[in-house]
Amino acid sequence: MGDNLFSVLISTIKSRYAAIVSKLRLWLSWNYVRTRVIGGIRDFFFRLLDVRPKNKNDYFTIFGWMVSKRLAYAGIVIVGVLSLWYIGATTKIFSKLTSNGGLRTYSYNSVLLRLAKDKVRIKAKSGYIAYEGDVSKGYATGEGSLYSKNDVLLYNGSFLKNKYEGDGSQYYDSGALHYTGAFHNNLYEGDGKLYREDGTEEYEGGFFSGKKEGHGKLMDGGNNPIYDGNFSADEIVYSELLGKSADEVRSMYFGKQIMYEESPDMGSDTVMHLKDINAMYLAQGDGSAADDANKVTQVIVLKDTFSMGSTVADDIEDLKSLMGSPIYEGNSAVILPEAIAINVLNDQKRTMNGKVDMDVTEVYSDDIIVNSIATDYPVYVYTFERGDLVYSFVCKERGGGFVFYEIMDGETDDDAA
């Protein structure tokens, strides 16, 4: 009897609370929660997008225009949603860090790149990692590395607003070191070292606007010094050899050279061919009892171009634009340094009118005695004066290009060829 009463009591309780338990289970189930949330969001947007105003309180008044408040709110929400979608799609800010060493990766035109700081990776337009390093306000600024599409390091060092600025190293497309030193505005500027692609050092010294400038040292393919002196716009300042003794020149030039000496019957002049810098010089005695050492009175540059600043001239009209009207022009017979220059260039396939006839005695391969030269070999010369220097440009004929040029002190312009 007692057991039956207890069973009836339990059944009554279960029947009364079964509905409550069922509701609790329903409310706590994930499907129910998801359905309610999605339904609520859907209803919210339905109400939001129901932009039909009900009365005048549903309007904003802007410059006399009535604008629906619900329409304005809907526009703001839509713009916000689209912005979040765009940010997520372009930068993956809501997903995860990339697998590239824990650095975030941005497209080169990403909006959020402007907000990024410290180290990042930047993809080029074609999708490869072009930059890895510091950024600020959307620019490569600080220390970083630039890569080619073949993943070859092109530059490593300091940047400022996407340009090389400060100390850095630039590389050939092969990956070999090309330059290391100071940069300004993407160009070599300051002290640096220039290398050939085979790894040998080519030049060490000053640079300006991407060109050799100031004091520097040229090296040969074996890393041996060739020339130690001044440069301007990538060219040796050949005029600084003027007035120097042979010993002083030897302290600047260390490359291969050939000496041409006049025989006693001709005189006492000496011409030195500085093969590794495409130049010669004429050394003459100055007649001083206190110092009878020969001094450089003329420098011959075996080049058919002439540089002044950033301008390069390769014909007479260009020279006139640079230096004005010549102080002399006309036919002239060759003198000793010109005759040697013509013959050297003729051996290099850069002929004028063939070789100058010369009677020489070869003491050694680098020591030649000149007994006589044919002075009737004709050349056409244009002579210009600029500052304290006189430049004579030797041509095959009147007008057109020149084959080489000579530099002298202005005081010796009476001797100009």
pLDDT, tens digit (0-9, with 9 covering 90-100), for 97-109: 444 556 899 998 9
Alpha carbon distance 166, 184 (integer Å)? 6
Neighbours of 73 (CB within 10 A): 13
Give the model's pLDDT for residue 63. Answer: 64
Amino acid at 53: P
Domain ranges across the chain = 1-49, 256-415
Mean pLDDT throughout 199-216?
97
**Sorting pLDDT into bands at 50, 70 and 90, what band is 286?**
low
For tokens 């120097």, the residue is 244
Model confidence, pTM: 0.73
| Rounded percentage of the chain residues whose pLDDT exceeds 70 | 78
| Contact between 205 and 212 (Cβ < 8 Å) | yes
- Pull the structure tokens for residue 21: 């338990």
Q: C-alpha dihedral over 374, 376, 381, 386, to 10 degrees?
A: 50
User: Which H/E stretch holds residue 112?
Assistant: none
Give the model's pLDDT for residue 415. Answer: 41
CA 350 to chain centre: 33
CA distances from 224 to 201, 217, 228, 241, 252 (A): 9, 10, 11, 21, 13
In terms of C-beta density within 10 A (0-12 exposed, 13-18 middle, 19 or more buried), how is residue 305 classed? middle
